[in-house]
A and B are shown apart, each in its own frame.
Chain A
């Protein structure tokens, strides 16, 4: 997300000028849309940054409005209780959102539409509750006669409070998006699998972003109650949720103030057109369609190319050494009679293999033997129907990917999984953090200055890694393979699973990467389990080989032993299949 350095203070100046130039009533109207705008900023955080689309954000806005309105009514004359209660109007929606996020994302529904539909359905449910629970929400007539925020007048001075809230929300979002946490959130939208293989809990990251967006919505809702003096069930309705989407899309879902600008722009236009022009809804719908089709990054995205003339943000100097984790004996990785069945296809039929010693182990076998499936089962990506997988004696069958990664088992995928829109430098950062990072470090700019020994060696062997500003999606396939390999080893895992690391590489690139694997694994005591078809690579990288066939271990041993094994020969020369 490009942060438009000047657009922020400029927008602030324009908004400050509004009451003086256009009068209090216009300021009041714009104030309302600024409130909606901060909700839209939260929507953009989820949608543009993390890649989850909340279709029912009005739920949190409405919750904040009812709680805020209730607090203002209840504690009108008691500031000691009022302000904590108003804070509650911000924290309650955040808590609810966090809970929803954890519950939904833990079930691994991925980035499908289900999260979106659940949020929509929940907001519709809340609307019905608000409509029906007269005793709680005032029902259809709503919460009436809400007194203004003490010391403010909704028609004039409250505007400054609203502006302050917008500055706060923008500031918080700015801080988050620039922090290591912000990079992780962005990486979620780029490639969830890659991030979870680095040990990061995707569900928690998504839930966190969702909770932040809900906090912003709650704050806006509470101020809405103070401004309007009345809260009716429509604050929870899907119509508002829909409008939020329009404002976010038009303003720019990947932008910080874009959504707020979208809300003000569309809101003011609507407000003024709806009485003069009968078909303003058609105009709005056409504009919305045009944006979705032709300018998915919204108006902010249209303005952004003008920013290319600004100097690019240079990655911070890496001057903070991160020590490597200690190395003891390798815990034993063991597959015990593992069965994996999908539908009626038996992929693994009692796979048994043990990784006891440090070193380079190869996993070979004909196509369909179950090699990648073994990796997937280990990382919790495929459900195991029989047998178990243990690590250092501990049963890890079915453990989710990020937890397996945290145990020290890294993985590199066959088709290089990287974060396309992010720079090489950020990739290396994320890899450095994957060994373990505290909450404080997540929010500190210092975390961008890390380096470690392994990174140093990798940069020596592969100079392209020094070009940290390069967008990873622009790298050649060979460089991407290397980058992903780097990601998987930087934090010194116990064992790294490499799935055809040299796939698609030229002879020279293959030789380079093979040498790198050997060198890094040897020097830093990292074991490797490598799936390979290319026998020249196998020759280079095999202290020990497992041969898989039809979901079971056919044979194992050194390369010579394997070569001499009749069973293996039969399988490879097309004998029994």
Chain B
């Protein structure tokens, strides 16, 4: 089960030439700066734009193939679309908007009106007029409407970009619920990395119409191309961990990460819960000896994989078994500690610095 896209599209001076795959189900984030071609790409998948060349397939269905002359029209692609500006029909109430989609659904039925209303808490909104809704409510209705077409793939084009911070936080949990409760593949366009961190399982980095890198979130978090987009302060490895229990003190949650273990100050999670943790490179201290008598709670033993120059300092990639993390240190420190590739080191992370970066990974990963 797979979404495969390979498409070329020229629009004036801009040329998009991108190829990527999403093993479904999963959430693929199309991430990049504004104007890099993210929205063009989802419009090609939806069929609202026609590629000059290429192929788009969803599972075993070909949606577009320039060579074989296949171009399934948008209305028959079975692809749901949530627009940045919601695009609710102003002459219909919320219920009317939902039923509009429900009546025209064609694909295999997997979610009913009642389930969608429950999932997105739309019950109280049903009789409201669309222009009386807040931005967050509009987006929830738009998501529900897209779901009711029983799509095989859901496209979301910056659904939170037009919302203020409070409204964003109001809608985000619903998107997480969607990911965890419906096994529906999604392509999520965004230029905000925190949304990627919370929602995505796969990441495609776009720059100037081309795919710079693609892969699992963990793998791309180590990728140099990402650094140039999100800036040095946000750089950090994203690692998947699993809750193994509580610290003897009872205040910290123990999470297995690679060969080592992290202690998180976080709400209680059940043992076995999959957690996604971002370890910011600037928050990591590197020691060449096993740490003793330090207040830092977390140390991960590993080996230096490589040392990169990054905006005046050194960025170490440290293999911690199964996965790797990034640490930013000064060039002076690299020199004085005599760090070289292949050297065993300990990465120290203050447990406090993990706060706010622990996210439930999709339940399907568990």
Check if A and B associate.
Answer: no
B-to-A contact residues, CB < 8 Å: none
A-to-B contact residues, CB < 8 Å: none
